[in-house]
Amino acid sequence: MPARRIAIVGAGSAYMPGVIRGLLARAGDLAGSELVLYDLDAGRLELMRGLAARMIAAAGADLEVRAEPSLRPALEEADFVFTTFRPGGMHARHLDESIPLRHGVVGQETAGPGGFLMACRSVPVLLEIAGILHRTAPHAWIVNYTNPTGIVTDAVLRHGGARIVGLCDQHVGDLELWARLLRLPYERVEADWLGLNHATWAERLRVDGTELGGQLGERLERLEPPGGADLATRQLVELAKALGLLPNSYARYYYFHDDVLAELRARPTTRAQDVMARLPALYDDYQAAARQASPEPSRERGGGGHGEFAIEVICAIAGDERRRLIVNTRNRGAIDGFEAEAVVEVPSLVGAEGPVPLPMGPLPRQVRGLTMAVHEYEWLAAEAAASGDRRRALQALLAHPFVKRKAAAEAILEEGLAAHRAHLPQFFPAG
């Protein structure tokens, strides 16, 4: 395949070494390609440029890498723009997770109202990127990991005029989990995960291409969580047995909302704070790795196929591979009952024209209503995040299955917008 220019926005992220590993795994296919790294944090940008250069040299790969401190030049003549940034950083995530908690609602940085606040910060930046590409590189594909990926993808498709595919590697980890629990050979299992990002369901599984069919239900009936399994796994097993299908790991936030609420309230720290506490040591590790001739940076973040999956998607488009990959894209008939324009997460054949979703039929009845409710919330959230319309924003929170109460929706919106004001130009125009 021809050499490509791949811009990476948010290249200072702790996930970056995993992305470089993914690139190196496909270095043959990407030979001659150029990586242009961009990040707001100049120190981390330079660190990752140096580390990437060392890893590329150690692998003897034919890839160029450079850092670009300004956004517009970083996107110039890009074929792919890989977006993996978190506006406001982990501190903003801490607010997303803790503000709703004060009002009796699980915040959750992607699936919950915390994810709504994150969408309000992510969407304007993605729209800025889309705007630049629209004028300077209209053929470029945005390959997006910035969360909440479904809402971001929808906002760019509806308001950005750019090509985008939304990614999440959750289905990789979830299939590993269920294969282990059900004692199936992970490498040989394929699952039809369908629904919305962080709200997918799998009723159809194939082992070596043969449908499990009714066997899945039988296996689920007999399933007991392994001894020593953590609470989240036990909840997921209970849920799978009740629903008769495999739920995404995030399903526990919907069906065990109040248990999760109590659990989070009892904790002294948010997940953002836990992650933040680990980051200095992790960046020290990356610094040390960048000084080695053959760097082996930590896999603590971005292991488990995170970077590899994104590079598989890029290669599938670049090489017109038409490979089956699970991505966020417009429905176009994939899930019966959802509009053609709805952004869904479904198995798709990914090639030069981007993802072509595969027909999946309807969602099982037992999860159809919830998934549709989440979809309507997401549609409203994308609209609010793109426009800065406060009424739409309130409607989005009112539609969210975690929130339900008007007073809570209003309080989360008020406090959330105020706390993130510096990142919300659409809600607080200058002047």
List residues binding ligand G6P (CB under 6 A).
Answer: 110, 147, 168-170, 271, 275
Q: Could you say whether residue 313 binds Mn ion (CB under 5 A)?
A: no
**Distance between CA atoms of 79 and 381, rounded to whole angstroms?**
29
Q: How far is CA 18 from the centre of its chain?
A: 15
Q: How far is the CB of 204 from ligand G6P (least distance, A)?
A: 22
Q: Decide whether 286 or 427 has the Cβ nearer to ligand G6P.
A: 286
Query: How many CB atoms neighbour CB 121 within 10 A?
Result: 23
**For residue 141, what are the CA distances in angstroms to 83, 316, 353?**
10, 12, 10
Convert residues 250-289 into a mask of x (bound to Mn ion by CB under 5 A) and - (unbound).
----------------------------------------
Q: DSSP string spanning 321-353?
A: --EEEEEEEE-TTSEETS-TT-EEEEEEEEETT
237, 319, 350, 406 from 241: Cα distances, Å: 6, 41, 33, 33
In sequence order, the β-bridge partners of residue 411 are none
Choice between 309 and 427, CB closer to Mn ion: 309
Nearer CB in complex with Mn ion: 100/166: 166
Tokens of 388: 């800065």
According to DSSP, the β-strands at 33-38 and 5-9 are parallel
The stretch near Mn ion (CB under 5 A) out of 25-33, 115-123, 164-172, 355-363 is 164-172
Among Mn ion, ligand G6P, none, residue 154 binds (CB under 5-8 Å by kind): none
* Catalytic residue, candidates 145, 250, 253, 377: 250
List the one residue from 13, 153, 170, 200 that touches Mn ion (CB under 5 A): 170
Q: How far is the CB of 309 from ligand G6P (least distance, A)?
A: 10
Toward ligand G6P, which CB reaches closer, 15 or 428?
15
Least distance from ligand G6P to the Cβ atom of residue 301, Å: 7
Identify the residue whose tokens are 């999760």. 260
CB closer to ligand G6P, 33 vs 298: 298
For position 146 contacting Mn ion by CB under 5 A, the verdict is: no
Selected binder of Mn ion within 155, 168, 245, 394 (CB under 5 A): 168
User: Where does residue 203 rank: exposed (0-12), middle (13-18), buried (19+ CB within 10 A)?
Assistant: buried
Q: How far is the CB of 170 from ligand G6P (least distance, A)?
A: 4
Shortest distance, position 147 Cβ to ligand G6P, whole Å: 5
348 binds Mn ion (CB under 5 A): no
189-196 and 141-144: which strand pairing?
unpaired
Q: Could you tell me the smallest distance in angstroms from the CB atom of residue 377 to ligand G6P?
A: 17
CA distance 284 to 381: 37
Q: Which of Mn ion, ligand G6P, none sits in contact with 158, Cβ below 5 to 8 A by type? A: none
Q: Does 377 qualify as catalytic in the annotation? A: no
Selection from ligand G6P, Mn ion, none that 275 binds (CB < 5 to 8 A by kind) is ligand G6P
Nearest to 427 by CA among 93, 7, 120: 120
Cβ-based nearer residue to ligand G6P, 78 or 142: 142
Q: Of ligand G6P, Mn ion, none, which one does residue 345 interact with (CB within 5 to 8 Å by kind)? A: none
Q: Which residues of 251-269 are buried (b: 16+ CB within 10 A; e: fewer)?
A: bbbbbbbeebbeebeeeee
Q: Which residues are catalytic?
A: 250
- What does the binding site for Mn ion look like in residue numbers (CB under 5 A)? 168, 170
